Amino acid sequence: MNIKLPFEQMPNPYITPALNLNFHYFFMRKYWFAYLAKALVVFPGGFGTLDEMFELLTLAQTHKLAKKITVVIYGASYWKNVINLEMLAEKGAIALKDMDLFQFADTPEEAFRILKDGLTANHLDGESYGPRSEAPIPDSPAPSAQEELGPDIAKTQS
């Protein structure tokens, strides 16, 4: 999911053209990230990275997502120098419990463990999730896209 920028953002050269989604507007790109994501891994970056990370954290903090999302902030020393999230909690700018919305990881193994634990706890219901080669149950309708993807952005209350 790329955004057209005058510099720096280029599609991954290994992605197939059919999967190369280019967006013109940031809000549409962020919407589709939030809609489809079950987890977010944030690598060291700049304004755009901070914008996307805080957008998803704010949606999670304010319960605007209908699903729990696992957020891994990769590279603790980098991020703790860029922004002092602990200070935000200490000063009351965010609640102490908001620190539970994300976890830091410094190795691929640590990030994988956090992702596996979060995805298992929040999105798998104990069924065996192996390859999708099981035979369909006779006379059962195919699941809808919504059923396959799970809940997305929270439904607004009337």
Q: Read off φ and ψ for residue 101, nearest 5 degrees.
A: -75, -10
The candidate with the shortest Cα–Cα distance to 41, out of 72, 66, 13, is 72
Residue 49 forms part of a structural domain: yes
Is the per-residue pLDDT at 139 higher than 90?
Answer: no
pLDDT band, very low/low/confident/very high, at 129 (cuts 50, 70, 90): very low
Residues 21 and 55 in one domain: no
Query: How many domains are there within the chain?
Result: 2
Residues 32 and 46 in one domain: no
The pLDDT of residue 134: 47
Residue 57 forms part of a structural domain: yes
With a pLDDT cut of 70, the percent of the chain lying above it is: 77
DSSP reduced 3-state for 19: helix
Strand partners, 41: 72
Average pLDDT, the chain: 82
The pLDDT of residue 148: 54
Residue 71 forms part of a structural domain: yes
The pLDDT of residue 145: 53
DSSP reduced 3-state for 142: coil
Is the per-residue pLDDT at 79 higher than 90?
Answer: yes
pLDDT band, very low/low/confident/very high, at 9 (cuts 50, 70, 90): low
- Cα 33 vs. chain centroid, distance in angstroms? 7
Strands 2-3 and 103-105: unpaired
Q: What is the pLDDT of residues 16-75, one digit of tens each?
A: 888 888 878 878 888 888 888 899 999 999 998 999 999 999 999 999 988 899 999 999
Residues 17 and 78 in one domain: no
Residues 50 and 104 in one domain: yes
| CATH code of the domain containing 80 | 3.40.50.450
Contacts 24+ apart (CB under 8 A), 75-83: 75/43, 75/44, 75/104, 75/106, 76/104, 76/105, 76/106, 77/106, 78/44, 79/42, 79/44, 79/104, 80/104, 82/44, 82/50, 83/50
Residues 65 and 8 in one domain: no
The candidate with the shortest Cα–Cα distance to 67, out of 5, 6, 156, 153, is 153
